[in-house]
Each structure stands twice: as C-alpha cells, then as structure tokens.
Amino acid sequence: MTSQLEHAYDVCRGVTRSAAKNFFYAFLVLPKHKRDALCAVYAFMRYSDDICDLPGLTLEQRKEKLAAWLDALHRVLGGEATDDPVLMAVADAQKNFSIRPELFDQLVYGTAMDLPAGGGGAIVYRTFDELQKYCYYVASVVGLVAIRVFGYRDPRAEPLAEQCGIAFQLTNILRDVKEDAGMGRIYLPEEDLARFGRSPADLDPARLSNGFDVGPLRPVLQLLADRARSFYAAANDLMPLIDEDSRAALWTLVEIYRRLLEKIARRGYDVFSQRVGLTVAEKLGVLSRGFLLRLTP
C-alpha cells in the first residue's frame, strides 16, 4: 500500500474513531484490511450526512453539494486521480471488495431524504412502510456494503443484512427522537401516533423539555421497539453465512445495538430527559467477548 493511500485510510480511521460511537467497536474485531474498508465507507457516509447538516446553506445549496460529492466519487471510481483521502480510500475499498457502485448512490439518496422537500417544514412519515423505505436507504444499504466486506457466498445473506440494517436504524430512531424532532425530523409514523391518540404535534421541540412526560408516547415507542426486535432476529441467520473472520464483528455490532434497545426499554422509553447510550465500560465488555469469539475456533 502506498504511503498516500495509507494516509487516506488513516484519515478515515480517525473519522470513524471520533464519530462512530457504536460501529467502531465492532470494526476493531475485524482483520485490518476489512476494518480499513469499512472505516472508508463510514467516512464517506459521515461526510454525506455532514453536508445535509451544514449551517448557513439553503436547501438547494445542500442538494448541490451532495450531488457534487457523489459526482466526485463517480469520477474517482471511474479511474480519475484524487487528493481527497476519503474518496481515495473508498475507491480502493470498492475495488478490493467488489462493492457495487450503485450502493453508494443509494447511500447518498438516503442522506438526501433527511432534507425537507419543497418549502421546508418538518419531515413526517405517514406509515411504517414509508419509514421502512427510509431505513432501507440509510441503513439496509449499509448492511449490503458491509457484507461485501465481511465476505459471503450465499445470496440469502443479502435480505438478512437488509433486515439487520433496519433493526439498527429503528434503534437509532428511538434513541434520537428528541434530537431529530429538534431538526424537524419526525420518524415516528403518523399512523402509529394516531393509533394511540397522538400526533406529530406532540413532538414539537418546544414541548420536549426535561419535564416532558413520556407516558402518552410510551406505547408508540414500545411498538417501534418491538418492530426492531423482530428485525434483529435476522442476525442469527446471517451470522453463519458470512466469512468466519467477520462473524465476531457482526456479533459485537448486534450485541451493542440490542443492549442499547433494551436499555431504552428499561428506562421506560424515556429518551427525553437524557440521551440513552451504553457506557464505554459496557461497550468494552461486549468488545472483549467479541475478541474471544474471534479467537475461539
């Protein structure tokens, strides 16, 4: 590996280490070449997300920047030289692991779904089917990329990876209800809210203070958690379908997210008084078991 390419991967590792609070622990259990590839993919996703959240830009300017970022990737994947470390590393990972280029298009498309349409206003999903489509682009596609790096031969791994991605994303949605509402993004489906006599207005950021009563929203949050649990079941079937040297990483990732989901449940789905997450000690405990799994024949 050239020094320039190694530097590019080093930049991506740094981005992942500082921003991927859950994924990075799972990546540590992988062989270095696989870990580097996923760090490159994560850094590409992180930059795409950051474009959507750039302050001081109009909606059109953000869309233009996203389009320019994706176009730059297309050119690099096509063989054009680049000095951008993230694009350089992503292109190398794409070639090494035969990642389908259209998956990167879908990742950026998913990122753009967090931009308000038309004149702006809150993003609201009417049905769980609509939300699941969003989860596919922002998380299932990540799963499809990840299993290319993990390695698999059986095509049954693909729909299972998609389901795991949805499980992770639903867990993130539960954890981040308050923060997302503050950015005008309501991911709790309108039909689910209505089923329990609630509406998107109940998630008005002005109401989500520390004294907010989670009680009226608890059934909606519990329903989403139950759906996440059903998608996590796919991990058990996916595990034996990926290469042996990657199974510990998948186990670590699933275990961290499952524990996060159950921690939210134990708090009575109160994700409003403080952000719920695993402690570093809890994550290290999972990581140590992941290393043992990798070492166990």
**Mean pLDDT, to the nearest integer, of 30-56?**
91
**Mean pLDDT, to the nearest integer, of 116-140?**
84
Residues 6+ apart with CB under 8 A from 173: 131, 180, 187, 188, 224
The pLDDT confidence band at residue 1, using thresholds 50, 70 and 90, is: low
pLDDT tens for 44-69 read 999 998 888 787 888 888 889 999 99
State whether the Cα torsion 58-111-167-125 is positive or negative.
positive
The pLDDT confidence band at residue 294, using thresholds 50, 70 and 90, is: low
Bigger pLDDT: 122 vs 141: 141
SS3 string, the chain, reads: CCHHHHHHHHHHHHHHHHHCCCHHHHHCCCCHHHHHHHHHHHHHHHHHHHHHCCCCCCHHHHHHHHHHHHHHHHHHHCCCCCCCHHHHHHHHHHHHHCCCHHHHHHHHHHHHCCCCCCCCCCEECCCHHHHHHHHHHHHHHHHHHHHHHHCECCCCHHHHHHHHHHHHHHHHHHHCHHHHHHCCEECCCHHHHHHCCCCHHHHCHHHCCCCCCCHHHHHHHHHHHHHHHHHHCHHHHHHHHECHHHHHHHHHHHHHHHHHHHHHHHCCCCCCCCCCCCCHHHHHHHHHHHHHHHHCC
pLDDT tens for 87-108 read 999 999 999 999 999 999 999 9
CB count, 10 Å around CB of 280?
11
pLDDT tens for 182-220 read 888 999 999 999 999 999 989 888 887 767 788 999 999
Predicted confidence (pLDDT) at residue 119 exceeds the cutoff of 50? no
Would you state the pLDDT for residue 211?
72
pLDDT tens for 262-287 read 999 999 999 998 889 888 888 888 88
How far is the C-alpha of 161 from the C-alpha of 237, rounded, in Å? 10
**For the chain, percent of residues with pLDDT exceeding 90:** 70
Would you state the pLDDT for residue 45?
93
Minimum mean pLDDT among 111-120, 162-171, 241-250: which range? 111-120
Would you state the pLDDT for residue 290?
76
CA nearest neighbour of 110 among 45, 20, 17: 45
CATH class of 122-297: mainly alpha
pLDDT tens for 228-253 read 999 999 999 999 999 999 999 999 99
Would you state the pLDDT for residue 297?
54
CATH code 1.10.600.10 region(s) in the chain: 122-297
Would you state the pLDDT for residue 118?
46
**For the chain, percent of residues with pLDDT exceeding 70:** 96
pTM of whole model > 0.95? Answer: no
Q: Which structure tokens are listed for 101?
A: 């280029």
